[in-house]
Amino acid sequence: MLVCGRALAGLAGLILAVSGVARCQDNPSPDTLLHHALELHRSGDFAGAIAEYRAYLKQVPDNAMARSNLGAALAHGGEFKDAIVEYQKALELQPANLPVQMNLALAYYKSADISHAAAELERVLTERPGERQPALLLSDCYLRLGENRKAIDLLTPFEQQTPDDKAIDYMLGTALIRDGQTARGELLVDRILRDGDSAEAHLLLGESRVWAHDFAGALEELRKSLAINPQLPSLNGYYGTALANLGDTEGAEAALRKELALDATDYAANFQLGKLLMPDDPTQARGCFARALGQRPNDFATRYQLALLDLQDGRADEARAALESLTHENPQDVEAHIALATAYYKLKRKHDVNQQRAIVLQLNAERQAGGPGGTSK
């Protein structure tokens, strides 16, 4: 509502503002150009509208609404990068314009630049903390970025205010399950299921089984979800993950590719498919990991897999650099230390191999004693 209502009002206002202005077809005035752009925009001729907005803005570069409309027309045609530029210019002119801020967030979101989308949505919600739509979108961004706790903190007040809001229940349930808060997450699933069978609820249950490493149980739930709505976002990704963990690599690959056909940028599907392709097709695997990193630029698990890929491809020094950085970031990560020992061995750094192995044994001892040496992947 925030976006559509305000944008249309703006559009109508501008039409009124320029109506009655004389036209000169040979050398159209700025007002004529703007009027024409708005007419074309309203009639659905986006390419025409873009040309007219651009012509107008050459003459009147400081019209924030025209910039914003140009951004909207560009976004409609999928030209998100150009749209983002126009929205940013519009915001420079009108920093407090929330509809433009929201449109900028949407453009980032649709261009799969999730971290920037999240930043813009956070600004929107700072001004309008109770707005449901940006909150839902921001929680989706947080989930894609793996920031489950932030999603929980954001949605919990909404869930308390409107306990029957299924979209909120679904997003919050997803965040809780991914955060390991299975019991609370499954309460929300029960709430969704109260009104009948639902693909979303089965997906959530399947997800919770995947997180609990009960892959056979996950398959049961995910198949139910697939039977109701095979297009549900993330569903094929989780189905593929469960199949991969049960050793059905062919089925897993097919499912993960289905997920990526629906959303080529999906983090989990790219990550899982990369792992699957690693032994036989390292080039494709690298591409998958690169797309996963596009979604979560500093993702530890993806960078670790890329380091393993470097080791596999004989690029020991690249692997060493990446793993040194990972172990520096998370000194408790056993697997990164193990892989770093291997990298050092390939580089004939015997002393460092022994040092890394000693660290691993120490971490495992701490882990067994209930200490901190867990794994972050």
Partner 1 sequence: MRSALAALVFLPFLAAAASGDSACAVCHAKETLHFPTTPMALAALTVERCDILQKHPVLQFQEGPFHTEIKTEGNRSTITVTRGTETFSIPILYALGQGKAGQTYVFQYDGAFYESRASYYNAAGGLDLTIGDMGTKPQTVVEAAGRRLTPADAANCFGCHTNGAVAGGILHPEAVTPGVGCQSCHGHVEKHAAAVRAGDVAGAKLPHLADLAAEDTLELCGQCHRTWAQVAQTGMRGPNTVRFQPYRLTNSKCYDVEDKRIRCTACHDPHEQLNPNLAGYDSKCTACHAAALHTKVCPVSKENCVTCHMPKIDLPGAHHQFTDHQIRIVRAGEAYPN
Tell me if 377 contacts partner 1 by CB under 8 A: no
Nearer to partner 1, 66 or 334 (CB): 334
Kindly state the smallest distance separating residue 303's Cβ from partner 1, in Å: 18
Rounded Cα–Cα distance for residues 91 and 97 (Å): 7
Choose, by CB under 8 A, the member of 282, 330, 357, 376 that binds partner 1: 357
Residue with tokens 């914003």: 68
Residues constituting the chain: 377
Tokens of 343: 């990298």
Rounded Cα–Cα distance for residues 1 and 136 (Å): 13
Q: How many residues bind partner 1 (CB under 8 A)?
A: 27
C-alpha angle 63-64-69 in degrees, rounded to nearest 5 = 100
Rounded Cα–Cα distance for residues 74 and 192 (Å): 38
DSSP H helices, 263-315, are: 267-277, 282-295, 300-312
Rounded Cα–Cα distance for residues 234 and 197 (Å): 18
CA-based nearest residue to 128, from 95, 90, 102, 155:
102
Rounded Cα–Cα distance for residues 15 and 38 (Å): 7
Tell me if 2 contacts partner 1 by CB under 8 A: no
Rounded Cα–Cα distance for residues 65 and 7 (Å): 9
Rounded Cα–Cα distance for residues 308 and 8 (Å): 51
Dump the DSSP string for 184-241.
Answer: HHHHHHHHHHTTS--HHHHHHHHHHHHHTT-HHHHHHHHHHHHHH-TT-TTHHHHHHH
Within 10 Å of residue 252's Cβ, how many Cβ atoms?
A: 22
Phi-psi label, residue 128: left if phi above 0, alpha if psi -120 to 50, beta otherwise:
beta
C-alpha angle 173-177-178 in degrees, rounded to nearest 5 = 115
Choose, by CB under 8 A, the member of 43, 164, 365, 371 that binds partner 1: 365
Nearer to partner 1, 57 or 243 (CB): 243
Tell me if 348 contacts partner 1 by CB under 8 A: yes
Nearer to partner 1, 93 or 338 (CB): 338
Stretch that binds partner 1, among 231-239, 262-270, 287-295, 340-348 (CB under 8 A): 340-348
Choose, by CB under 8 A, the member of 193, 229, 367, 376 that binds partner 1: 367
Tell me if 350 contacts partner 1 by CB under 8 A: yes
Nearer to partner 1, 150 or 209 (CB): 209
Nearer to partner 1, 26 or 280 (CB): 280
Kindly state the smallest distance separating residue 247's Cβ from partner 1, in Å: 3
Please enumerate in sequence order all residues whose Cβ is within 8 A of that of 39, keeping only pairs 6 or more positions apart, or say none: 15
Tell me if 360 contacts partner 1 by CB under 8 A: yes
Tell me if 295 contacts partner 1 by CB under 8 A: no
Kindly state the smallest distance separating residue 279's Cβ from partner 1, in Å: 7
Kindly state the smallest distance separating residue 336's Cβ from partner 1, in Å: 11
Residues of this chain, 169-228, that bind partner 1 according to CB under 8 A: 215
Choose, by CB under 8 A, the member of 37, 152, 273, 353 that binds partner 1: 353
Choose, by CB under 8 A, the member of 219, 226, 334, 343 that binds partner 1: 334
Rounded Cα–Cα distance for residues 2 and 138 (Å): 15
Tell me if 247 contacts partner 1 by CB under 8 A: yes
Nearer to partner 1, 88 or 249 (CB): 249
Nearer to partner 1, 58 or 350 (CB): 350
Choose, by CB under 8 A, the member of 284, 338, 355, 376 that binds partner 1: 338
117 and 101 Cβ atoms separated by less than 8 Å: no
Tell me if 368 contacts partner 1 by CB under 8 A: yes
Which positions lie near partner 1, rule CB under 8 A? 215, 245-250, 279-280, 334-335, 338-339, 341-342, 345, 348, 350, 353, 357, 360-361, 364-365, 367-368, 373
